[in-house]
Amino acid sequence: MTAAAKPYHHGDLRAALVAEGLLLIEEQDADDLSLRELARRVGVSATAVYRHFPDKAALMAALAGEALTRLAAAQRAASERAGGGSAGFSATGAAYVRFARDNPGLFRLVFAHPVTPGHAEKSNDEAMTMLKAGAAALTPPGTDARVFALRSWALAHGLAMLMLDGQVQVDDATIDRVIDVTMSG
């Protein structure tokens, strides 16, 4: 067969499987993802998938890890555009909600199939690191930084889930106003 018939030969099969898996997650529920279907879409035998992922759980962890990497990149870019500080911290929360809105399958995957410590890569911890660092710098006096971080995450996650579950419809301006940590009411 030619390289065109088997595109993974001129690239990285693991990366191709992850990329196609991420596309499948946006088309169907993560639990419905089939290793056989993934292999078919990438153009390899089902056994080829097992050379890179010993089981579906390992594949799901890799997909969740990539989703976390993408989320962290979106949050980092949003914080940098806002100039850091409290505006940057709020921007990371708004980016979290927008990521959920724009990538509902990936967002749900992260929480349905959390990355286990054995599968986690350093870059996948970036979103949590940004949350903790921002909270530590912005925690109001007399407030526990861990509580402030959890409150901030719960606010962003709650809004994201309300949107994904069809309970609220909000535009970008409303997302920004809800997530803004500098607003007192």
Between the alpha carbon of residue 75 and those of residues 82, 144, 166, the distances in Å are 11, 23, 23
Is pLDDT of 139 > 80? Answer: yes
Q: Are residues 101 and 175 in the same domain?
A: yes
Q: How far apart are CA 78 and CA 84, in angstroms?
A: 9
Q: Dump pLDDT digits (tens) for 76-87.
A: 999 999 999 999
Q: Are residues 37 and 105 in the same domain?
A: no
Which amino acid belongs to residue 66? E
Residue 30 sits in a domain whose CATH number is 1.10.10
Q: Evaluate whether 131 touches 148 at the Cβ level (below 8 Å).
A: no
- Please give the residue range of the domain that contains residue 25: 1-53
**pTM recorded for the entire structure:** 0.83
Q: Are residues 43 and 103 in the same domain?
A: no
Mean pLDDT over residues 55-66, rounded? 90
Q: Which residues contact 183 (CB under 8 A, 6 or more apart)?
A: 177
Position 135 confidence tier, pLDDT thresholds 50, 70, 90: confident
Q: Are residues 33 and 72 in the same domain?
A: no
Q: How far apart are CA 39 and CA 47, in angstroms?
A: 8
Q: Are residues 91 and 115 in the same domain?
A: yes
Mean pLDDT over residues 94-118, rounded? 85
Is pLDDT of 7 > 90? Answer: no
Residue 79 sits in a domain whose CATH number is 1.10.357.10
pLDDT of 134 reads 87
Residue 124 lies in a domain: yes
pLDDT of 163 reads 96
Question: Domain tally for the chain?
Answer: 2
Q: Are residues 119 and 30 in the same domain?
A: no
Position 183 confidence tier, pLDDT thresholds 50, 70, 90: low
Q: Evaluate whether 115 touches 68 at the Cβ level (below 8 Å).
A: yes
Residue 97 lies in a domain: yes
Q: Are residues 74 and 157 in the same domain?
A: yes
Q: Are residues 124 and 173 in the same domain?
A: yes
Mean pLDDT of the chain: 85
Q: Are residues 159 and 72 in the same domain?
A: yes
Q: Are residues 155 and 118 in the same domain?
A: yes
Residue 185 lies in a domain: no
